[in-house]
Amino acid sequence: MQFSHRIIIAIACILAGVVIGMVITPAPDADDDAAMILLRLQSGISASLETLDDNLGAAAYDLGATGLDNQAAREILLTLSRTSPAIIDCTTVSPDGVILAAEPPEYHGAEGKKVSDQPSTMQILESKRPVMSRYGPVAEELDAVFISAPVFTRGGIANEPDGRFLGFTSIVFQPHLLIGEAAEPVVSGKPYSITVVDTDGRVLYDTDPDQIGLPLDDPVYTAYPVLVEFVTRVTEERQGQGNYIFRDQTKEAVWTTVALHGTEWRVAVTRTL
* Domains, the chain, with CATH or none: 45-174 (3.30.450.20), 177-272 (3.30.450.20)
- pLDDT score, position 32: 53
In this predicted model, what pLDDT tens digit does every residue of 19-29 receive, in sequence order? 333 333 333 34
Residue range 153-171: average pLDDT? Answer: 86
* Residue 112: pLDDT over 90: yes
Q: How far apart are CA 230 and CA 190, in angstroms?
A: 24
Residue range 221-236: average pLDDT? Answer: 96
Q: How far apart are CA 22 and CA 194, in angstroms?
A: 32
Residue range 69-96: average pLDDT? Answer: 98
Q: Are 41 and 269 in contact (CB under 8 A)?
A: yes
* Residue 7: pLDDT over 50: no
Degrees, nearest 5: CA angle 117-119-123? 110
Query: 268: which strand partners?
Result: 195, 255
Residue range 119-125: average pLDDT? Answer: 96
Cβ-based burial of 28 (10 A; exposed 0-12, middle 13-18, buried ≥19) = exposed
In this predicted model, what pLDDT tens digit does every residue of 26-60 receive, in sequence order? 333 433 589 999 999 999 999 999 999 999 999 99
In this predicted model, what pLDDT tens digit does every residue of 175-185 receive, in sequence order? 999 999 999 89
Q: How far apart are CA 166 and CA 25, in angstroms?
A: 60
Q: Are 56 and 147 in contact (CB under 8 A)?
A: yes
Helix (H, G, I), strand (E, B) or coil at 206: strand
- pLDDT score, position 16: 37
Radius of gyration from C-alpha coordinates of the chain? 24
